[in-house]
A = this chain, B = another copy of it.
Amino acid sequence: MSAAVTDLIAALGEKVSTNPAVRDHHGHDMSRQPLHRPDGVVFVESEADVVTAVKICAAHGTPVVPFGAGSSMEGHTIPLRGGVSLDMTRMNKILAVHAEDFDAVVQAGVTRKQLNEHLRDSGLMFTVDPGADASLGGMASTRASGTTAVRYGTMRETVIALKVVTASGEVVSTGRRVKKSSTGYDLTKLFVGAEGTLGVITEVTVKLHPIPEVIASAICSFATMAGAVQTVVETMQSALPVARIEFLDEVAVDAANAHAGLGLKRAPTLFLEFHGSERWVQEQSETVRDLARGNGGSDFDWSTRTEDRARLWKARHETIYSNQSLRPGCKTYTTDVCVPISRLAEAVLAARADADTAPFPVKIIGHVGDGNFHVGYLIKPEIPEELAEAERLAERLYQRTMDMEGTFSGEHGVGISKLKYLRREHGAGVDLMKALKAALDPQGIMNPGKLGQEG
């Protein structure tokens, strides 16, 4: 047992675990990254616990890796260099809902579904919805988004303020609960997307939105992928505030049908949602329907009943789990790219053309209103040729994206395996990132081996 863990047990008692199964659980996530076990896991229950744990780790130079729902897609929470996994899930209190100001203050371990459950009778909603039921601290740390970002923004726009514990164990509030401020460097935005490498987020203040008077979902299938994507481009260029506009290619429709029994036509498909007053929803949906028709789209298949809509979006959110029905025993090699909307059609069609050469199923889904899409390679990783081919295709995809002024992650983050792309995208910006990391974490104990140290 390391000296740091011994000191942690002395200070925090039963909140510290060295149980091998617990350490295993905190040594992996939803990515393909190999297991790295922490030396111990601290189940923190308060800001004071976090301060205690970080100060002990700082005294020993021991790594500290925050851990929320464990739903990272890129290995963010894997303790590459051992040390302590800080499990935030017991910090799950909703501290305040300010309905008049459209905000909520929550501990970092609160999950998105928990918050929305709590808000149910308030007429308000928390909008950011990655597939998993992630914690808000984790979502802030990866600058997460999801299906509604096209209308309501990502965590970048949704996080108003944070409380963090710095690498030296100081508590800092990064900002105030106001709509705007011009008082100093934007510390809030610095910690959003920092992937746990600058400090531990303990509290998150997020923007809420009113639940719209009318919510209407629609499905529209297309004769061609080009027609579906062109409809998205034209919708965005008409600047309509569509609430969701999600693309599924034929393979993804197969998966959704098999997994959730949706009975959809096997064709490139858009899932749409409109929010607003009755008249305003009607006006928006008529405009998009006309654009779809012009691009070979079917009539809209409408779901206005809550249960039908819930089933539809559950199927969309669970696409990652539905791949087994397409190829039993497969693992999904997921990618995540985002391009300017003017390059979207070209980017998606090139990805599909590449996919058509692959010896395994390839699925494309996307939050296409933001220019963001995921190509998933359904491989058997124990077959080395398949893994190598997925890596070759992913490399082509990422390079092509960056050549189109795009980014190698729209929402999943950098994590471990994509650190190699950081300098290709950011150039000398990586040196600024390293300088910031060295300034806020001079010992390099916060989630080491990742963003801010490498790349």
> CB within 8 Å of B: which residues of A?
98, 100-103, 142-145, 149, 154, 156-157, 166, 170-187, 189-190, 192-194, 198, 209-210, 233, 237, 239, 277, 279-280, 283, 336, 338-342, 370-372, 405-414, 418, 421-422, 425-433, 435-440, 451-452, 455
Do B427 and A172 touch (CB < 8 A)?
Answer: yes
Nearest 8 interchain pairs by C-beta: A439-B439, A189-B189, A181-B407, A100-B342, A182-B409, A143-B182, A210-B239, A182-B413
A182-B414, A283-B277, A410-B178 known; A439 vs B433 contact (CB < 8 Å): no
Do A185 and B193 touch (CB < 8 A)?
Answer: yes
Do B407 and A176 touch (CB < 8 A)?
Answer: yes
A101-B341, A185-B190 known; A176 vs B425 contact (CB < 8 Å): yes
Question: A410 — which chain B residues lie within 8 A by C-beta?
Answer: 178, 180-182
Q: A185-B433, A186-B192, A435-B439 are in contact. List 4 more A-B contacts (CB 8 A).
A: A156-B189, A175-B426, A178-B406, A435-B440
- In the complex, 21 of the A-B residue pairs with CB atoms within 8 angstroms, ordered by the A residue number, are A154-B180, A156-B189, A170-B431, A172-B428, A172-B429, A178-B371, A179-B340, A179-B371, A180-B338, A182-B193, A182-B414, A183-B409, A184-B433, A184-B455, A185-B451, A185-B452, A187-B433, A190-B190, A210-B239, A280-B280, A435-B439
Do A438 and B439 touch (CB < 8 A)?
Answer: yes
Q: In the assembled complex, how far is the CB of residue A152 from the closest CB belonging to chain B, in whole angstroms?
A: 11
Question: A175 — which chain B residues lie within 8 A by C-beta?
Answer: 426, 429
Chain B: CB-nearest residue to A439? B439
Copies of this chain held together in the complex: 2
A175 to B410, CA, bound (A): 12
Q: In the assembled complex, how far is the CB of residue A105 from the closest CB belonging to chain B, in whole angstroms?
A: 11
Chain B: CB-nearest residue to A238? B210
A149 to B406, CA, bound (A): 27
Chain B: CB-nearest residue to A150? B179
Question: A182 — which chain B residues lie within 8 A by C-beta?
Answer: 142-144, 193, 336, 407, 409-414
A102-B239, A341-B101, A452-B185 known; A180 vs B426 contact (CB < 8 Å): no
Do B432 and A101 touch (CB < 8 A)?
Answer: no
A209-B239, A279-B279, A427-B173 known; A340 vs B178 contact (CB < 8 Å): yes
Q: In the assembled complex, how far is the CB of residue A136 from the closest CB belonging to chain B, in whole angstroms?
A: 16
Question: A189 — which chain B residues lie within 8 A by C-beta?
Answer: 156, 186, 189-190
A428 to B411, CA, bound (A): 30
